[in-house]
Structures are given as C-alpha cells and as structure tokens.
C-alpha cells in the first residue's frame, strides 16, 4: 500500500521523543491503547486487538454522556515497530462492513530526536474525507497524539 499523498488523505505527523517501540506498544497493547485513543473527555472502555494481517479489532469510544461509539476493523499490514495498516472496510474475518469509511496507515520512523509518527487517514471518497475534516479530524487526532505522547514518554 502506498503512502504517497492522495487527495482523500488527512494526515497528522509528529516528532515524538521516544523510540519506535514505545509508539508501537501504545497502538498494539489493549491496556495502553485504552489510555490515549479517544480524545478526552471521551474514554476507551473496550480495546480488543488481534494484531496480525487479517486479524480484527474492536475499539469502543465512550462520550462523557455515556454514548458508545464502536469501531471495528481488520489489520491489513503489520510490520512490528514500523508500520500498521487497518481498515474499517471489513468488520472481522473478511466480512464487509456496512459502510467503509477509511483505512489508517501508521508509520513509525527513526529521526533525530525520536520517532517520526505519521497517522494517515485514507478515505474511500472525497465526501468521506471532507466529512471527517468537518467532524474535527485535526483537533481530535491532535488531542489523541498529545495524549499518546504523554503516555509513551513513560514507556521509552
């Protein structure tokens, strides 16, 4: 899968002052993912992760009012400490989802001062991309990246 820019992409990148392994753990260990994945004051009470190509995940974000927002997906590519690709096009075991929205391409690259963390949200359509941007992609994913950074500083 190419990381080349696509007009349907929304991208967040940060230089995070920790080794790649710490970021990888935060994305692949359920107990760690629960601590940063949803932008506060939302929480993540459920994180079931079968991190392997073809494995599924089930992550639930909960609003402050108690509304659960379930997210299901399937891992397409898993390269430890380097790259993780997951899509919501499938809900589990290659069962198509009702409405695919995006594929997330995560990369972790060594860079002076730490790890270049790139989260690329590749949408199925420009309309999906625009809707995600209007939903607050930059702010929400930015808050999550800040929470992720705080967590992994203690894991380095």
**Tens digits of per-residue pLDDT, 41-69?**
999 999 999 999 999 999 999 999 999 99
Q: How confident is the model over 77-127, as pLDDT tens digits?
A: 999 999 999 999 998 888 999 999 999 999 999 999 999 999 999 999 999
DSSP conformation letters of the chain: ---S--TTEEEEEEEESS-HHHHHHHHH-HHHHTTTSSPTT-EEEEEEE--STT-EEEEEEE-TTS-EEEEEEEEEEEETTTEEEEESSEEETTEEPSS--EEEEEEEEEETTEEEEEEEEEESSHHHHHHHHHTTHHHHHHHHHHHHHHHHHTT-
CA-based radius of gyration for the chain: 15
Q: What is the pTM of this model?
A: 0.93
Residue 2 clears pLDDT 90, i.e. is over it: no
- pLDDT for res 5: 79
Mean per-residue pLDDT, 114-143: 96
Q: How confident is the model over 12-47, as pLDDT tens digits?
A: 999 999 999 999 999 999 999 999 999 999 999 999
Residue 9 clears pLDDT 70, i.e. is over it: yes
Q: How confident is the model at residue 128 (pLDDT cuts 50, 70, 90)?
A: very high
* Residue 47: φ, ψ to 5°: -145, 100
Is 11-153 assigned to CATH 3.30.530.20?
yes
- pLDDT for res 49: 98
Residue 1 clears pLDDT 70, i.e. is over it: no
């Amino acid at each position: 899968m190419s990381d080349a820019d696509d007009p349907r992409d929304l991208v967040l990148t940060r230089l995070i002052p920790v080794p790649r392994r710490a970021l990888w753990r935060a994305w692949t260990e359920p107990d760690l993912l629960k601590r940063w994945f949803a932008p506060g004051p939302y929480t993540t009470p459920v994180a079931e992760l079968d991190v392997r190509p073809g494995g599924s995940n089930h992550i639930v974000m909960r609003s402050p009012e108690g509304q659960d927002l379930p997210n299901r997906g399937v891992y397409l590519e898993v390269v430890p400490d380097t790259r993780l690709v997951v899509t919501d096009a499938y809900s589990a075991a290659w069962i198509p989802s009702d409405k695919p929205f995006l594929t997330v391409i995560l990369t972790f690259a060594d860079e002076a001062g730490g790890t270049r963390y790139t989260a690329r949200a590749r949408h199925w359509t420009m309309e999906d991309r625009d809707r995600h941007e209007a939903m607050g992609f930059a702010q929400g994913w930015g808050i999550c990246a800040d929470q992720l950074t705080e967590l992994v500083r203690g894991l380095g």
